[in-house]
Structure 1
Amino acid sequence: MNAQARPVDETLVRLLPKAEVHVHLEGCFDLADLLELAKAAGVGLPGPAATLFDVDTHDVPAEAPGAPKSTLSAFLRFLDWEGGLVRTPEQAARAAYRFAARESASGVRYADVIVNPTHWGAWHGRLGELFAAFAAGLDEAEQDGLAVVNLCASLLRQQTPAAAAELVDWLVEARPVRVVALSIDGDERAAGRTGPRFADAFRRAADAGIRRTVHAGESSGPQGVWDALDLLRAERIDHGVRAAEDPALLRRLVDERVPLGVCPRSNLALGLYPDRASHPLPALLAAGVAVTVNTDDPAAMGYRLEAEWAACADAYGWGLAEVAELARASVRASFAPPELAASLLADIDAFEAGRA
């Protein structure tokens, strides 16, 4: 049996050079991290330690009376609780370092990690200190031979245009180290249509040479992806799976070579689709869309990137050629420096040739 015919398992995926482009730092705290941080902060847990990541059962208050209830909104409130435990620069640097270590253990050589300052409640008014601490941790990680990681500073959909302008002003003026992109995330269904509200902020970011990646087409339909392209100048769409419902949108994604940062297991966990057979990932690939497979919030959801790629390979009949192309797509979709991207693509080619 040749290498192409062998099942794609987690070991092969770990060995395959790749990037990850849709993963949130807030979703990468392991249970031990949270227990240590909660003790240091003198904060009680929102639920039993053994079921800490079962966020639907937690006593975490809704954002406002009458706020829409959903698995996603409950999960976002849990991320607020997690981020609020980080109180010191040393803790923030350690969180970034451990993220790079987690990525490296999965064979990731480069990652764009999303950080939404609204989840880090102890740092309001100290944004520069927070991102400097993250950069320090990532610098140390790179010096130790771990994955290269850059940051995507993210808005929350419920924020105001003024808050968006404030973040973009800071990005343009301060040019924080390792911040390469502006992002926006949050529950589309709860926030309603948000593209028009943030169009000016994203335009200013684009004019200043800041890259743009936008969560869209997750809990809402294809309209969010259209807005991301038309109003927010998105270079990459995080999720984007609902684009499969609109043939015209699929053609545009293909024609403009806009990649999607898809997170299948996250979509299943948060109730978008009942199972992998129902997930539109194969349809997106068949339409010619540039698709990457990512983890979103892996620690909170209890899995790693190699497990997700192996599960997709098993569900959709992928072999070495398919996962090697998935790795290439991850690099091309990333905001990695050109020299690093070229090196990674060459390493992927060499890996595939060696295995085949």
Structure 2
Amino acid sequence: MHAFIRDLPKAELHLHIEGTLEPELMFELARRNNIDLPYKSVLEVKEAYNFEDLQSFLDIYYQGSQVLQKEVDFYDLTWAYLQKAASQNVRHTEIFFDPQSHTDRGIAFETAYQGIYQALQDGKSKLGISSQLILSFLRHLSAEEALATLEQALPYKDSIVAVGLDSAEQGNPPSKFKEVFDRAQAEGFLTVAHAGEEGPPEYIWEAINLLEVSRIDHGVRSMEDPELLQYLAEKQIPLTVCPLSNVKLKVFDSMAKHNLKKLLNSGICATVNSDDPSYFGGYIAENYQAAQEALDLSQQELYQLAKNSFQATFLSPESQQKLIAELDNYCQVLS
């Protein structure tokens, strides 16, 4: 099953590029940019990845981002992820980046954007991975700050497909950002939002009704609201589920208690993703593998998760069908 999962054609739709910063690269960039880290070794960094909740992770996550200073740093970060993704047969990826975590410390929006964008272009030409970029607003900051970030993004809107919402969910409902998302949609951006990870099902309803999102990032707490679950299934609003992240951040006590299989069997367009793989112990194949082993997912269920991932992309229907045909061929050859 390991080889089947690794080589399964798949898309990744919930991936924070800053969350792919491996400790080894963190130290390399710290040396390059003369930054002192609060850790003495790679091992000490990894030992710090013992999180109690989302906020304890975010504290370390934002600290790690400090080593990203120059365009080449963002390029190297993104290129490292793309190489890993290629090794696990990710055919298409839609990547979040958090410009506010960089502009707030004096790094120009363009510096982060250009480094990431150039790596994504090289990923297409050299690795055969198509990609799209999603700008995420940090919900613990103000709506006014999010609007200022949106203004900075407008010159690049032809190459940024959507805006999203991440960071600490508790106390920061989607409704806080309605005006910002209205403006983003007026400018032609699609919308997504993290909801229903730590926050209640009501946050998922807000993301759907107020932010008019195309998909929900996480969304695992939708199981608590039967009406919501039925709505998500009927409308086929995708959930970008991140199993290892959910366990690492104590959303579920163990992988065996994760509701991914229940969501899938409820007719939800559930997908598997890695979120912040450097911090949560695995990239996309490891997430598939962990879920498969703990939840006894069949090859048919793994196929459906991969198919869902292509159907949930922001690609054209023609491009989606081309990737699904590749997936079908892979599974037929093995059957």
TM tier, smaller: over 0.9
Q: Which stretches in structure 2 are left out of the alignment for 5+ residues?
A: none
1:108 to 82, 90, 98: 90
Contact 1:86 1:122 survives alignment (8 Å): no
1:81 to 54, 58, 63: 63
Aligned residues: 334
Q: 2:220 maps to which residue?
A: 241
Q: Which digits, 9 at most, give the CA deviation of each residue in 1:216-241, with x for residues without a partner?
A: 10111111111111111111111100
Contact 1:213 1:235 survives alignment (8 Å): yes
Does structure 1 residue 152 correspond to structure 2 residue 154? no
2:164 to 176, 183, 200: 183
- Distance in 2 (CA, whole Å) between partners of 1:55 and 1:185 is 22
Identity of aligned residues (%): 28
- Distance in 1 (CA, whole Å) between partners of 2:99 and 2:152 is 13
Q: 2:54 maps to which residue?
A: 72
SS at match of 2:141: coil
Q: 2:332 maps to which residue?
A: 353
Q: Which deviates the most, 268-277 or 330-339?
A: 330-339
1:48 Cα offset (Å): 4.0
Q: 2:76 maps to which residue?
A: 94
Contact 2:99 2:149 survives alignment (8 Å): no
Contact 2:70 2:111 survives alignment (8 Å): no
SS at match of 1:99: helix
Q: 1:61 maps to which residue?
A: none
Q: Which digits, 9 at most, give the CA deviation of each residue in 1:57-88, with x for residues without a partner?
A: 7xxxxxxxxxxx95321211212122211111
SS at match of 1:213: strand
Q: 1:299 maps to which residue?
A: 278
Q: How does 1:161-176 map to 2 (within 5 A)?
A: 161-171=143-153, 173-176=154-157
Query: What amino acid maps onto 2:48 in structure 1?
Result: V
Q: 1:42 maps to which residue?
A: 34
Where relative contact order (Cα < 8 A, 6+ residues apart) is larger, the structure is: 1
Q: 1:330 maps to which residue?
A: 309
Q: Which stretches in structure 1 are left out of the alignment for 5+ residues?
A: 1-8, 58-68
- Distance in 2 (CA, whole Å) between partners of 1:122 and 1:230 is 30
SS at match of 2:213: coil
SS at match of 2:39: coil
Change (3 A) 1:161 1:75: same
Query: What amino acid maps onto 1:199 in structure 2?
Result: K
Q: How does 1:50-61 map to 2 (within 5 A)?
A: 50-55=43-48
1:285 Cα offset (Å): 1.6
Q: Which digits, 9 at most, give the CA deviation of each residue in 1:15-59, with x for residues without a partner?
A: 1111000111011011210110111222222234213033367xx
Change (3 A) 1:303 1:56: closer
Does structure 1 residue 24 correspond to structure 2 residue 24? no
Q: Which deviates the most, 237-246 or 276-285?
A: 276-285
Q: 1:6 maps to which residue?
A: none
- Distance in 2 (CA, whole Å) between partners of 1:71 and 1:128 is 32
Contact 2:174 2:207 survives alignment (8 Å): yes
Change (3 A) 1:72 1:84: same
Change (3 A) 1:32 1:146: farther
1:125 Cα offset (Å): 6.0
Q: Which deviates the most, 125-134 or 234-243?
A: 125-134
Query: TM-score, normalized by length of structure 2?
Result: 0.94
Does structure 1 residue 128 correspond to structure 2 residue 110? yes
1:332 Cα offset (Å): 0.9
Query: TM-score, normalized by length of structure 1?
Result: 0.88
- Distance in 1 (CA, whole Å) between partners of 2:111 and 2:69 is 11
Change (3 A) 1:15 1:114: same
Q: Which deviates the most, 38-47 or 215-224?
A: 38-47
Q: 1:62 maps to which residue?
A: none
Q: Which digits, 9 at most, give the CA deviation of each residue in 1:134-193, with x for residues without a partner?
A: 11121122221242222110001112121122222333x31346321101001112xx04
Change (3 A) 1:164 1:121: closer
Contact 2:98 2:138 survives alignment (8 Å): yes
Contact 1:239 1:260 survives alignment (8 Å): yes
Change (3 A) 1:310 1:118: same
